[in-house]
Amino acid sequence: SLFRLKDLEVAELGDSDVHVKMLAAPINPADINMIQGTYAILSPLPAVGGNEGVGEVLEVGRCVAALKPGDRVIPAGTGLGTWRTQGVFPEDMLLKVPSDMPVLCAATLSVNPCTAYRMLTDFETLALGDSVIQNAANSGVGQAVIQIAKAFGIKTVNVVRDRPDLPKLVERLMALGADHVITEEMLRKPEMKEIFKSIPKPRLALNCVGGKSTTEMLRHLQPKGTMVTYGGMAKQPVMVPVSAFIFRDVRLRGFWMTQWRKEHAQDQESLASMMDALCQLIRRGQLAAPACTEVPLQDYKAALEASMKPFTSSKQILLL
């Protein structure tokens, strides 16, 4: 195990620093990839794990104007190291969130809902009644896509892997606002035609699997549609039939939230408007936290193991 629980001194509070008491932090696939060394960002070691979470401000340096003790904050970027009870961070590495936001919503806000929001808005101009198809629909991003699309009046076709408790999962995703939930096997069945009698073929496909699932999903994309890849859980390449390019002119794009943040570092406006939109959806009850299992920090080993099991439908959240 690469992981140990350690007691560290809290750093000195500099003029532009903020002393934060962490409240909760999830374990995401990217956190695991960073630990395994297979991610595009590698923290210099020794490092604190965790890229997402929520904390409460305890104290601020004398040059800090935008935050005060009692405020709730989430990471502004990647690599903060949220799996800790307390930390001192530069002010510009934190974003303020409303204090009345439920803790689990805030703890899971900065990565998955942001990714879902950007992919739904940045690649295709979707109108009321348009549709989107996505795989790994029960992932954190997938659950956020379902809810945000529903709020925007966009239909979703949600692909999941077949599993022992499939009816329960289908029911849960339908309750979130999914229009259709299907298995990967169904993607290549004639019944798909039935689905597209009631809704238009999707203009946007969201892929975080790769391999066969992706090729099958692509078949249902409208001409000139876009497929956005944001993960590769099958660890297999994306295979595209030549005909899809020539006769249907489909577009293949990629998305990485970390890169988006980097490119928009000077553009406070677009970040603020996204966070506002997401906070409003949460306030209206249109965007909930993903299904969560809350685990005390000392049980971190069990939480890490649980997060790597196949067919997990619940996100492990460390309570700090």
Cα(121)–Cα(50) distance, integer angstroms: 27
d(CA 277, CA 52): 19
Distance of CA 75 to the CA centre of its chain: 14
CA distances 199 to 73, 145, 188, Å, are 40, 17, 18
| Catalytic hit among 39, 117, 230, 300 | 39
Task: Tell how far CA 38 is from the center of its chain.
Answer: 18
Active site residue 300: no
**Complete DSSP assignment for 15-63:** TTEEEEEEEEEE--HHHHHHHHT-SS--PPSS----S--EEEEEEE-TT
**Contact between 304 and 2 (Cβ < 8 Å):** no
Q: Which residues are catalytic?
A: 39
